[in-house]
Amino acid sequence: MSGLRELARDGLSTDKMMQVYHSIELHSLRSAAYLALGIAIIAIIFINIFKRLYNSSPVRSNSPDLEKPAARAASKFKEPERELGKWIPMDFKRPVAPPYPDWDVYTTKPLPYRPFRHGPYHITMGLRSMKWDEWIELDNQFLKFHADKVRRIEERGTKCCKTAPEGYDGALELLEEFCDYLPQRYPSLFQKTPVGMNNLATGEVFDITARPLAEDPMAMASRMVQDDLAIMYEKPDGQYYLLAGAILLAGFWRLEDKFGMPLSEIHTSGDVPGFKQKLEKGMMNFFRRVKPDGPVLRNNYFLQVDDQLAWSSSIGDEDSEGSSWTTAEKNKAVEHHWFRSERQSLRRLPRSGGVVFTIRTYFHPIKEIAEEPYVPGRLASAIRSWGDDVARYKGRERYQETMLEYLDKKHEEQMAEGLVLEKEDETHTYPL
């Protein structure tokens, strides 16, 4: 009220003074309201910015688990009721693939897949959604992989490439898919023709319409891509069987050992860690429900103590019965250690119902990838985190002393040069 006394001294009436006072009070209230509103708006803006930054940051433990139906995008294809082992063709056409930007058979480098995380190690299928454009990845290693495949087909024939009668239609369907997709995605390498396509670098002419086909369809398909290939088919018992394959560069397993086996036996015969306890049920459910419009990807990795892409000679002769990690020389010099990573795609063929695996191998010397920021520290952590079963499966006992000593040294060098561990997630997003 001190303001009123001052107004009275200036000769204003009491009524006039009250009007002035209320006017001042109202103005103050409005100013306070505007200030509060401004503060609230600023707070909301900061909250939204924080949420966006948080959600955009790569988080290792919260990646989508596509083994759970709720995590997968809904398919517009509702599978009709059918008997097990009898597929009803679906009307699905893969979207047209745009050309790979600036792709060149001599200069496009392999993508730097580094699909390992800091420990602890978890056994999962590790599925994630696939963009149709990225179904098949080719790079400047194509001609080397192609030459290796041609040599392997000539030397080993049906030991590496084989199609069962029940798998023939699916193998032809895969050829049709390749002859449609590859000229779209890699027009500088493949040219579409009325009977298939031509490879402009190797001079090969692929005629997929001839009957009988000039060769096994899986052998033909294998020379079109850098991937190994396998097609699984459902039988009346509900299991999926390997009935068509071109396994030429797998390193550690042979098609002749697995051909005709159901999915579960393929994994149990190979002593895949945690398969029965953690993977089998989810894998079987996934195969039964995967739709033609729902392709997925997964990555894995191995370490190898020789530089042989097609077959790791350090575990024994490819044709011997007892090949295993126990035959590998222990703790060879790090120059002999190689990093082997696989990018696998899985998709359902709409006509035949076969589930196609494409298995693309990336193969690099350990000394090469250990120069990359954060890689030696993260890989060393991953190797140390393997459980006993995973360590046996990946052969850790044969290389861990040399490998871990080298990786630890490279990590220490990077730290001394100013590497900031807290910024790793800003530069690394799984599986790269």
Three-state secondary-structure class, residue 240: strand
Higher pLDDT, 266 or 51: 266
Three-state secondary-structure class, residue 163: strand
The DSSP result for 63-113, as a single string, is S--TTSGGGSPPPS--PPP--TT--------PPPPPPPTT--TTTPPPP--
> Does residue 59 surpass a pLDDT of 80?
no
Residue 46 confidence (pLDDT):
47
Residue 268 confidence (pLDDT):
85
Average pLDDT, the chain: 86
Q: How many CA atoms lie within 13 A of 259 on its CB side?
A: 19
What are the residues facing 344 on neighbouring strands? 298, 359
Residue 251 confidence (pLDDT):
95
Per-residue pLDDT of 269-301, as tens digits, reads 888 888 888 888 888 888 999 999 999 999 999
Higher pLDDT, 57 or 221: 221
Distance of alpha carbon 30 from the chain centroid: 58
Give the whole-angstrom CA distance, residue 10 versus residue 260.
107
Higher pLDDT, 150 or 63: 150
> Does residue 47 surpass a pLDDT of 60?
no
Residue 146 confidence (pLDDT):
98
Q: How far apart are the first and last CA of the chain?
A: 71
Higher pLDDT, 320 or 367: 367
Q: What is the mean pLDDT of residues 180-187?
A: 98
Residue carrying structure tokens 């871990």: 404
**Is residue 431 a contact partner of residue 299, using CB atoms and an 8 Å limit?**
yes
Q: Which helix (H) or strand (E) holds 129?
A: strand 128-129
| Distances from the Cα of 145 to the Cα of 70, 176, 226, angstroms | 38, 22, 6
Q: Which of 173, 199, 176, 177 is nearest to 354 (CA)?
A: 173
The DSSP result for 330-391, as a single string, is TT--GGG-EEEEEEEEEEE-TTT-PEEEEEEEEEEEHHHHTTSTTHHHHHHHHHHH--HHHH
Query: What is the percent of the chain with per-residue pLDDT over 70, rounded to a whole number?
Result: 81
What are the residues facing 304 on neighbouring strands? 338
To 5 degrees, how large is the angle CA 409–CA 412–CA 417? 130
Residue 36 confidence (pLDDT):
52
The answer to which of 64-78, 163-177, 267-281 has the lowest mean pLDDT is: 64-78
Q: Which of 392, 346, 344, 338 is nearest to 365 (CA)?
A: 338
